[in-house]
Amino acid sequence: MTNVKKIVSVQDISCYGQCSLTAALPVLSARGVETAILPSALLSTHTGGFHGYTVLDLTDEMPKIVAHWKQEGIRFDAIYTGYIGDARQFDIILRLRELLYDGGLLIVDPAMADHGKLYAALNEDIVIGMRRLVGYADVILPNLTEAAFLLGREYKESYSPEEIEEMVRALCAMGPRYSILTGVSREPNKIGAICFDRERNETVCYFTERIEKSYHGTGDLFSAVAVADIVRGKGMEEVLRNACEFTCRAIRATVDDPAHPYGVHFEPVLSGEYPQSE
Ligand code: PXL
C-alpha cells in the first residue's frame, strides 16, 4: 500500500500567467501529493503586469463545496492556502480545518504582497485576515514584504542577518511552529530562505545564486515544493534546499527568454529537461 498524502489547496485560478493553482498543482502532483482544490477566485490572468483582467469571486461557492465534502466524509492531511481575494474567505478556511485528520497541518503562504507593496487587487482587510489565519497556522511561508505586513512594520529594502533572525522569531510568536521567510539574503550574490522552528528554538537556512530578475509565481512554486516535502515528513533542511533549488532553476531557465516576463519556465525543471547536466 502506498501512503499518498492528500491535501487541499485554497488559492485562485489565474487562467493565464503560471501562478497560484496552475503552478502549484503540477508541482504537488509530480512530488507525489494528491491535491484537491478550493478555488478562491477565477481570474483571466494574475494581477501583476496585466491590465483589464477579469475576476470572478468564488466566496459564495466555497462553503457549498466544503459542505459536500463533509457529507462525503472527505478528509485531508493538510490545508495549503495561497492568494485569497476576499476577506470573507478566512472564516471559510478556518472552518475547513474540521476536515483535517488529527495532526493535519494548516500551511499558509500569505501570498498578498511583494517588493514593499500589496498586490493590485488587495486591501488592508486581507492583511488583517491573513494575520488571523497565521495565528492558527502550523507553517507559514511569507516573503519579506508579507512578513513586514503581517508584523505591522515598515518594509525595508535590506535587512541584516540579525534583523532577519528576529523577524522569523517574531512571526512564530504570532502562532506557527515554523516560519519560513523567503527572499532573504546574507551576501550580495546569494538569495534564499530561512526557517525558524519555535519548538526546537532552531534556525536553518539555504541560499542559491541570486539572479537579478523578478517574476510572478516564484513564491507560489517555492511554496508548492515546500508543502509537498513538509507533508511527506521531510526535515526543514531538505525542504529549504529543494524549494530554493527548484525556484532558482526555474528562474535560470527563464532569464534568457524576453518573450516570457509574466512567470517562469518551471515545466522543464519539473520534467528533468532543465538543467541538462549539473
Ligand atoms: O503569485 C501570487 C499571485 C497569485 N494570484 C494572483 C496574483 C498573484 C500575484 O500577483 O495576482 C491573482
Q: Kindly state the helix (H) or strand (E) to which residue 55 belongs, with its residue range.
A: strand 55-57
Average pLDDT value for residue range 214-238 = 98
> Within 13 A of 22's CA, how many CA atoms are on the CB side?
18
Helix H segments across 182-266? 218-231, 236-252
0.95 surpassed by pTM: yes
| Average pLDDT value for the chain | 97
pLDDT in the model for residue 136: 98
Distance, CA of 238 to CA of 47 (rounded, Å): 32
Between the CA of 46 and the centroid of ligand 1 the distance, in Å, is 5
pLDDT tens for residues 148-192? 999 999 999 999 999 999 999 999 999 999 999 999 998 989 999
DSSP for 163-221? Answer: HHHHHHHHHHTTS-SEEEEEEE-SSTTEEEEEEEETTTTEEEEEEEE--S---TTHHHH
Question: What number does the ligand 1 atom closest to the CA of 218 have?
Answer: 1
Task: Determine which residue's CA is closest to atom 12 belonging to ligand 1.
Answer: 46
* Protein residue with least CA distance to atom 1, ligand 1: 217
pLDDT attached to residue 276:
83
- Cell of residue 207, nine digits: 541560499
Ligand 1 atom nearest 12 alpha carbon: 5
Cβ < 6 A, ligand 1 pocket:
12, 14, 19-20, 43, 46-48, 83, 111, 119, 216-217, 219-220
